[in-house]
Amino acid sequence: MKPYLAASVAAFTMLMAGVSGADAAGEVNIYSYRQPELIQPLLDAFTKETGIDTNVLFLDKGLVERIKAEGANSPADIILTVDIARLMEAKEGGVVQPVTGNATINKDIPSSYRDPDGDWFGLTTRGRVVYASKDRVAQNDITYEELADPKWKGKICLRDGQHAYNVALFASMVAHHGADYTEKWLTGLKNNLARKPDGNDRSQAKSIMAGECDIALGNTYYVGLMMTNDQAPEEKEWAKSIKVLFPNAADRGTHVNISGMALARNAPNKENALKLMEFLASGEAQKIYAEQVFEYPVMPGAEPSAIVKSFGPIKPDTLPLIDIAKNRKTASELVDKVGFNEGPSK
């Protein structure tokens, strides 16, 4: 795989090196943390509507470092990311530029999902929910706080505590309750784990079906992806074995994270980049996101897909994303402090 990856990156770099001036008039270059298959339907629709071609470089890490290394000659026009942590990483890394006063984008994306300085914009949300066994969990209501209750001892599965999705949730707990409470809560959650944190969100559903645990934390959209995965029909069985519980539905609401976009600092095709950003914020793109990626559109009035609706209504936590972002460091430190990834105490 390494030679293939190197060749792919080299090919993209060579392609971009040849794109300049008038030659670049019909293109836009995207550096993405989002998996290519998830965003391709959006990009195809954009090209069909505008005639502007799209080039995508997918990275699973190191996006900010790559753009920094490329400097003023970076071909990156737009950055697409999968959570608030990576959006803030791009801003703090100095690889984005503000987009201010854009009436189209500001109309379609609520202020709560936009950076105050215009450095990034949220496109969709997803809930960090509880996957629960249909056979072994009778209750249909739960809170994040309850996950530390000893009644769940040995019954919870989770991916790496330092994964961005979990750190964001833990940061929201810090914002709501403070660091001292969150430390105790993380200790309780750790002691309720069935095993050391491992795998990804989908594999937690697999573990529930296998009887290794009764509940797990996962993002809402993975349930939709599993339910419709014809290439891996076993995932459909994992999805059938669980139900989605929306934590804290009766009080502050369920923690949500975002996917988002930002304009690269040295975008060589800035005009086309802004056109793509306007398209991604539009109702057409929001509908594609909802149907293809099973996330919640941020555009007021836009509806989630029928599959997502089948999970039940979501009441999003109104905690500002900025408050989550500023507590990420504390949350990450607490994960290490309590030895979360070591798994339950014997």
Helix (H) or strand (E) holding 261: strand 256-264
Q: Where are the beta strands (DSSP E) in the chain?
A: 27-32, 53-58, 78-81, 96-97, 121-133, 156-157, 215-219, 242-245, 256-264, 296-297
Q: Give residue 15's pLDDT.
A: 47
One pLDDT digit (tens) per residue for the chain, 346 residues: 343 344 344 445 444 444 443 344 499 999 999 888 889 999 999 999 999 999 999 998 899 999 999 999 999 999 999 888 889 999 999 999 999 999 999 999 988 889 989 999 999 999 999 999 999 999 999 999 999 999 999 999 999 999 989 999 999 999 999 999 999 999 999 999 999 999 999 999 999 999 999 999 999 999 999 999 999 999 999 999 999 999 999 999 999 999 999 999 999 999 999 999 999 999 999 999 888 889 999 988 889 999 999 999 999 998 988 888 889 999 999 999 999 999 998 6
The answer to whether the CB of 126 falls within 8 A of the CB of 220 is: yes
CA-nearest of 342, 326, 315 to 186 is 342
CATH number of 2-124+258-302: 3.40.190.10
Q: Is 56 strand, coil or helix?
A: strand
pLDDT at 13: 47
Q: Which amino acid is at 105?
A: I
Q: Are 192 and 345 in contact (CB under 8 A)?
A: no
Instruction: Classify strands 96-97 and 215-219 as parallel, antiparallel or unpaired.
Output: unpaired
Specify whether the CB–CB gap between 197 and 158 falls below 8 A. yes
Residue with structure tokens 């403070």? Answer: 178
Class of domain 126-255+312-342: alpha beta
Q: What does the alpha-carbon distance between residue 314 and residue 308 come to, in Å, rounded to a whole number? A: 10
Does the annotation place 221 within a ligand binding site?
yes
Residues 6+ apart with CB under 8 A from 227: 236, 239, 307
In angstroms, the CA 31 to CA 23 distance is 19
Distance, CA of 151 to CA of 167 (rounded, Å): 24
pLDDT at residue 150, as a whole number: 97
User: In this structure, how many other beta carbons lie within 10 angstroms of the beta carbon of residue 250?
Assistant: 11
Element (H, E) at 125: strand 121-133
| pLDDT for res 289 | 86
Q: Give residue limits of the domains in the chain.
A: 2-124+258-302, 126-255+312-342
Cα dihedral 236, 241, 247, 250 sign: positive
Taking residue 14's Cβ as centre, other Cβ atoms within 10 Å add up to 9
pLDDT for the residue numbered 153: 98
| pLDDT score, position 34 | 86
Give yes or no for a contact between 120 and 260, defined as CB atoms under 8 angstroms apart.
yes
| Integer Cα distance of 124 and 299 in angstroms | 8
What residues contact residue 236 under an 8 Å CB cut-off, 6+ apart? 226, 227, 228, 229
Closest C-alpha among 122, 32, 141, 12 to residue 77: 32
The pLDDT value given to residue 11: 43
Give the Cα separation of 246 and 77 in Å (integer).
37
- Kindly state the tokens that stand for 75: 């071909």
User: For residues 135 and 155, is the Cβ–Cβ distance under 8 A?
Assistant: no
Separation CA 142–CA 226 (nearest Å):
23
Quote the pLDDT of residue 346. Answer: 67
Neighbour-count burial of 306, counting CB atoms closer than 10 A to its CB (0-12 exposed, 13-18 middle, 19+ buried):
exposed
pLDDT for the residue numbered 112:
83
Per residue in 22-31, pLDDT (tens digit) is: 344 499 999 9
Backbone angles phi, psi at 156, to 5 degrees: -115, 135
Nearest CA to 227 out of 331, 305, 115, 287 is that of 305
